[in-house]
Amino acid sequence: MDTEAFLDSVSEEIHQHNAMMLHALMKLMFDGELSREQVAGWARQFWVIPHTHLINNAGKLAHAQLWRGGFLQQLMESPYDRDMTAKLGEAVLDEMGKTEISPQSHYDCYFFLTDALGIPMAEMGRPEDLLPNSLLVMHAWTKSALEFSLLELIASHNFVNDHTNTIAYPRLCEALMGHYGLSRKAVTWFDLHGEVDKAHGAMSRSVLAQLVQTEEDRRVVRYAVKFGLGIKWALFDGVMNAYVNKSYPI
- Please report, for the chain, the start and end positions of each structural domain, with discontinuous segments joined by +: 3-244
Which of 231, 197, 226, 213 is closest to 67 using CA atoms?
A: 213
Number of other residues whose CB lies within 10 A of the CB of residue 197: 23
Gap between the Cα atoms of 143 and 140, Å rounded: 5
Q: What's the chain look like in SS3?
A: CCHHHHHHHHHHHHHHCCHHHHCHHHHHHHCCCCCHHHHHHHHHHHCHHHHHHHHHHHHHHHCCCCCCCCHHHHHHHCCCCHHHHHHHHHHHHHHHCCCCCCCCCHHHHHHHHHHHCCCCHHHCCCCCCCCHHHHHHHHHHHHHHHHCCHHHHHHHHHHHHHHHHHHHHHHHHHHHHHHHCCCCCCCHHHHHHHHHHHHHHHHHHHHHHHHCCCHHHHHHHHHHHHHHHHHHHHHHHHHHHHHHCCCCCC
pLDDT value, residue 73: 47
Gap between the Cα atoms of 148 and 146, Å rounded: 6
Instruction: Report the CATH superfamily, name and number, of domain 3-244.
Output: Heme oxygenase-like (1.20.910.10)
CA distances from 72 to 149, 154, 187, 194 (A): 12, 20, 43, 37
Gap between the Cα atoms of 11 and 6, Å rounded: 9
In degrees to the nearest 10, what's the CA dihedral of 150, 151, 153, 157?
A: 140
pLDDT value, residue 201: 52
Do the Cβ atoms of 114 and 126 come closer than 8 Å?
no
Question: Tens-of-pLDDT digits for all 250 residues of the chain?
Answer: 899 999 999 999 999 999 999 999 999 999 999 999 999 999 999 999 988 877 777 666 666 555 555 544 455 455 556 676 666 656 665 565 555 555 567 778 899 999 999 999 999 999 999 999 999 999 999 888 888 888 888 899 889 988 788 889 999 999 999 999 999 999 999 988 766 656 655 678 888 998 899 999 999 999 999 999 999 999 999 999 999 999 999 8
